[in-house]
Amino acid sequence: MSGLVDGFGRVHRDLRISLTDHCNLRCTYCMPAEGVPWLPRNTLLSATELMRIVEIAVAEGVTEVRLTGGEPLLRPDVVDIIAAIHSIENPPEISITTNGIMLPRLADRLAEAGLARVNISLDTLDRARFKELTRRDRLGDVLDGIDAAKAAGMTPVKINSVLMRGINDHEAPALLRWAMENDLELRFIEQMPLDAGHTWSREGMVTAAEILETLRTEHELEPIAGRGAAPAERFLVDGGPHTVGIIASVTMPFCGACDRLRLTADGQLRSCLFSSTESDLREPLRSGASDEEVAAILHRCLAGKLAGHGINEPGFLQPPRPMSAIGG
Ligand code: SAM
Ligand code: SF4
C-alpha cells in the first residue's frame, strides 16, 4: 500500500461519499425552492459499484468514510451500504452527515449495521424560523432524530449549524446552551459559496471571528490544541467538559491539513469541494476497469489537487455543482 498522497505531501484518509443528490429539505443556503436539476437515475452508482470503490480506496489507505448528500438517509439501501462497508477487511470508521429527519425510523438499524458517528445539521431552535430556512415544517422531526441517534448509542452526536446574518445569527448563544444541556457537540460552519442559487456574499457570511465574539459575551472559550486534519477548531466552554467547534472554511482555511477526497453520487471523484475538475470513475467501472486502473484514477485525481480552495483569491469561481450534488 502506497498511501493516497498528493503533490503537497498531504496523505488522504477520509473519503466522503454522496449517496444521493435528492433532499427532503430546501435550506436556502443550499438549494432553491424548486430543487436542482436532479442527476439522471442511470448515472447513479449502484451499491455494488460504490462498494468496489470503497474497497479499493481502503486498500489504498482510506480509514474513514463519511456518507453524505443531498440527504443520505433518503437512499433506500443506506443500511445495506453501511453493513457492506462495515464488513470489508480492515473496515474504515463510518459516519454520516444528515438533516436527521429519517433518524427516528432508521437510527437503530444504522447503528446495528456499523454506523459509528452522526453529524446532524440544525441551524435554529425556532419552529417558524426553521420552516423559513429549510422551506419545510420539520423541526420536530429533526429534534426526534437527535434523540433517536443518542438512544442508538451514536455518541457524541455532533450538530452542524450555519449562521446567516440577520436571520439566525442571534441564536448562536441559545444553540450553544441547548447543545450543552443535551450533551451535543455543536460546530458552527461559515457559509460557503456553494449554493445552487448563487446567493452567497462575503458580507452576508457570518465569520468565525464574529461567532466567537458573540459566544464570548456569555462564555469563557479556551482553544483546544491538537486539531490534526479536523476542519473544526475546538474550544472548551467554561472550563469543560463541553466544547464548541468553529469551521472557518472561508476566513481561516485549513487546506494545508486536508485529508479528504470526495465521490459524487454519479461516480465522479473530486479532490476538493471547490474543484473545477472531476475524475470519472463510473464509466471505467462500467467498462470493466481493473482494481489497479481504478486505483490509478484515485492517485491521478490527487496528483492534480491544488494547494487550497482559492475562495479568497481574486479569480475564484464557484464550482458548477452545488454542495448538495457534491456531498457536503
Ligand atoms: N443533507 C445533509 C445535511 O444537511 O446534513 C447532508 C448534506 S449537507 C450539503 C452537509 C452540510 O453542509 C450541512 O451541515 C449543511 O448545513 C452544510 N451546508 C450546505 N450548504 C452550505 C453552504 N453553502 N455553506 C456551508 N455549509 C453548507
Ligand atoms: Fe438538504 Fe442538507 Fe442541503 Fe439542507 S443542507 S437542503 S438538508 S442537502
**Protein residue with its CA nearest to atom 9 in ligand 1:** 328
pTM score: 0.96
* For the CA of 162, the nearest ligand: 1
Give the other-Cβ count within 10 Å of 46's Cβ: 12
List, run by run, the mean pLDDT of 10-residue segments along the chain (328 residues).
88 97 95 92 97 98 97 98 97 98 98 98 98 98 98 96 96 98 97 86 92 96 88 94 94 90 97 92 98 98 91 80 80
35-93: pLDDT as tens digits: 999 999 999 999 999 999 999 999 999 999 999 999 999 999 999 999 999 999 999 99
pLDDT at 322: 79
What distance in Å separates the CA atoms of residue 53 and residue 49, rounded to the nearest whole number?
7
Residue-level pLDDT at 79: 98
- Cell for 203? 458580507
CA of 145 to the centre of ligand 2 (A): 15
Q: How far is the CA of 28 from the centre of ligand 2 (A)?
A: 9
Q: Which three cell numbers stand for residue 254?
A: 485549513
Calculate ∠ Cα 80-83-87, nearest 5°.
140
C-alpha to C-alpha distance for 57 and 4, rounded to whole angstroms: 9
Give the number of the ligand closest to the Cα of residue 73. 1
Residue ID of nearest Cα to ligand 1 atom 2:
98
Residues 149 and 126: beta-carbon distance below 8 Å: no
Mutate which of 22, 26, 30 to test ligand 2's pocket (most atoms within 8 Å of Cβ)?
A: 30
Alpha carbon distance 273, 73 (integer Å): 21
Which runs of consecutive H residues, i.e. helices, occur in the chain?
47-59, 78-86, 103-113, 127-134, 139-151, 172-181, 208-216, 282-286, 291-303, 323-326
What is the Cα–Cα distance from 247 to 99, expressed in whole angstroms? 18
Q: For residue 11, list its beta bridge partners.
A: 5
| Pairing between β-strand 268-270 and β-strand 14-20 as defined by DSSP bridges | unpaired
Q: Is 18 in the pocket of ligand 2 (CB under 6 A)?
A: no
**Interval between CA 289 and ligand 1 midpoint (Å):** 33
> From the CA of 327, how far away is ligand 1's center (Å)?
8
* Closest ligand 2 atom number to CA of residue 162: 5
Residue-wise pLDDT tens digits, 88-125: 999 999 999 999 999 999 999 999 999 999 999 999 99
In the structure grid, which three cell numbers stand for residue 141, read together? 422531526
pLDDT score of 197: 80
pLDDT at 2: 67
For residues 282 and 261, give the distance between their C-alpha atoms in angstroms, rounded to a whole number: 16
